[in-house]
Chains A and B, each alone.
Chain A
Amino acid sequence: ESHTQYERVGADVTMKCGSMDWDAAVTWTANGTDIDESHLNGSYLILKNVDLTQSGQYSCYEGSSWHLKYQTSLRVGTPPKEPVLMCRSNNYPKGFYCSWHLPTPTYIPNSFNISVIHGTSEMVCEKDVFLKNRCHIRYLQLFSTVKYKVTLTVTNALGKNSTTLTFDEFAIVKPDPPESVVAKPVPNNPRRLEVSWQNPSSWPDPESFPLKFFLRYRPLILDQWQHVELSDGTSHTITDAYAGKEYIIQVAAKDNDIGTWSDWSVAVHATPWTEEPKHLTTEAQVTETTSASTSSFMPPPTTKIYDKGAVVGSGAVAVCWTAGLVLAAYGVLFI
């Protein structure tokens, strides 16, 4: 019958030819190729300081009859290093998923076991249908003060290792990037670009859990990005684009109140509208055009905040009034 044997890289391996005596005459083969007698100690095969290339099928034959006495598959590998575990909620408030991998391969089969503990109860992490190193948890309760503790253990024939993550419900919220980002020129406006996008489809409830967005853009030929933060809406018009230059634009999303920013969306390219080029007859007109475009390169401003909800200036006055009224209303109730 056939066996499998797992050994560590760098180990010394002794293979016995089944039940044969030490002094029996045998021949060993590795993947069908005879092994030189210098590796033999009696009928034992000695492999010193094994490396990955020595994995394979080892067979032992009785000397004269060529009877197959023993066969084993040698798999050289390493015990698992500490796995890398990541948990994230891209579908808040439905739940979260955890995903993991090994930092270096072990070259032998590994099995993973994940446990999710919330307070005193153990939760079930459902395996992902497509990805084998991912599982999903559904929240049973929202706004929990108790942390989640996720422990991943990886085991193989040569050892085991584990890692634990402890986190609050809010800390792991990170949406997927916005989808369907579209940037279009605006007719008759050489400095404008209209950008629109959609909420990531994985975000289940943008009504109750609205997202805010961060837009960045730059002309292809410059390295410095301009940023705009938008607390509302899924579109924005860039009004300070350099005429005639191709732009690269990306958008990121974040829950309005909790968690972290998503990765940047797929980049889109767009060039602002330009007038149909007139027929250039004189040299003076040509030079005029070139010098105009080079002089328009000044350091762009940095961050602007567009908050369609609040109007800061008149807000101070409105606040004073509201404060007085709120307290008056409260006082009226108690008189």
Chain B
Amino acid sequence: GDSWGIFTFLCAALCNLPALPALNCTEELGAGQSIQKTYDLTRYLEHQLRTLAGTYLNYLGPPFNEPDFNPPRLARAERVPSATVDLDLWRGLTDNARLAANYRAYSRLLCYLRALDGQAGTAELRHRLGHFCSSLQGLVLSIAGVMSSLGYPLPAGPSAPPGTPGTPGAPNDFLKKMDDFWLLKELQTWLWRSAKDFNRLKKKVPPAVVTLRLEARGF
């Protein structure tokens, strides 16, 4: 409860600080512990998303807020990264591929969510979305931390964020709402999947202790 509030606040605050005092520190960073924290963060976000999605879908109005709403997937919705994967393929993913898939997905989902934030109707909705985006950014950074502590390179950032010229916007209001609906659905599914991804990583990565000596100048 409280420790997660601190964690996300720190992520948000630290992201916005222009410079940090130089850090000379030696710290024992267990990759296993980072994975545990990342796992915990996905669970926290999943809980947060339930409230956010409920509020947002009510804002979109029917049929989007109906529990049985089960529309077919339109081709345009493929832009949002899907968590769906063949079972054997998922099992066989290397640690690097598993982490990279999560990193790429949340980076892109974060971009789309930020675009949503810019257009959302009510102040309450914008506030909730803003808070969620900060937490989601924390998750992206946490995954990056795990990858670097295991020595994996970070995947390249998202190619074209939405809203830039060239990316097709929705031709009408209803299709725009459909896009929003699928975005929230994919986000929810990714958070469920990540819990399983990080469970698997927890078991496979031994809780070896890595000693890190960091000398960071200003950011």
Contact = CB atoms under 8 A, between A and B. Distances in A.
Interface string A283-318: 000000000000000000000000001101001101
B105 to A, nearest CB: 11
Contacts of B219: 331
B193 interface: yes
- The CB with the most chain A CB atoms within 10 A, among B72, B193, B196, is that of B196
B27 A321 contact: yes
Interface string B1-43: 0110011001100110000000101010100011011001001
Contacts of A93: 87
Given A325-B29, A330-B148, A143 B83 contact: yes
A329 B3 contact: no
Given A258-B192, A319-B7, A141 B214 contact: no
Contacts of A166: 68, 70
- The CB with the most chain A CB atoms within 10 A, among B36, B186, B199, is that of B199
A78 to B, nearest CB: 29
Nearest to B8: A323
Given A316-B6, A326-B145, A333-B154, A207 B203 contact: yes
Contacts of B40: 310
Nearest to B149: A329
Interface residues of A, number: 44
Given A119-B73, A142-B90, A143-B83, A328 B3 contact: no
B212 interface: yes
B34 A322 contact: yes
Contacts of B91: 208
A256 B6 contact: no
Contacts of A326: 34, 141-142, 144-145
Contact of B192 (A120, A257, A309): A257
Interface string B165-177: 0000000000000
A144 interface: yes
B86 interface: yes
B199 A319 contact: no
Contacts of B82: 145
Chain B interface size, under 10 / 10 to 19 / 20 to 34 / 35 or more: 35 or more
B182 interface: yes
B188 to A, nearest CB: 8
A320 B6 contact: yes
Given A143-B83, A209-B199, A327 B37 contact: no
A120 B82 CA distance: 17
A141 B84 contact: yes
B46 to A, nearest CB: 8
A139 B88 CA distance: 11
- The CB with the most chain A CB atoms within 10 A, among B33, B142, B145, is that of B145
Given A141-B87, A312-B3, A335-B217, A328 B23 contact: yes
Contact of A149 (B23, B70, B203, B216): B70
A170 interface: yes
- The CB with the most chain A CB atoms within 10 A, among B27, B86, B189, B203, is that of B189
Nearest to A331: B219
B84 A142 contact: yes
A142 B141 CA distance: 26
Given A209-B199, A257-B192, A145 B83 contact: yes
B195 interface: yes
A140 B86 CA distance: 6
A320 B10 contact: yes
B185 interface: yes
Nearest to A332: B216
A226 B25 CA distance: 46
Contact of B196 (A208, A319, A328): A208
A209 B196 contact: yes
Interface of B: 2-3, 6-7, 10-11, 14-15, 23, 25, 27, 29, 33-34, 36-37, 40, 43, 46, 68, 70, 72-73, 82-87, 90-91, 141-142, 144-145, 148-149, 154, 182, 185-186, 188-190, 192-193, 195-196, 199-200, 203, 212, 214, 216-217, 219
- A-B interface, 4 closest residue pairs, ranked by CB to CB distance from nearest: A326-B145, A257-B195, A143-B83, A143-B193
15 contacts: A143-B84, A143-B190, A145-B73, A145-B189, A208-B203, A209-B196, A257-B199, A320-B6, A322-B145, A323-B10, A325-B25, A326-B141, A330-B144, A330-B148, A331-B216
Interface of A: 93, 119-120, 139-147, 149, 166, 170, 207-210, 256-258, 309-310, 312, 315-316, 318-333, 335
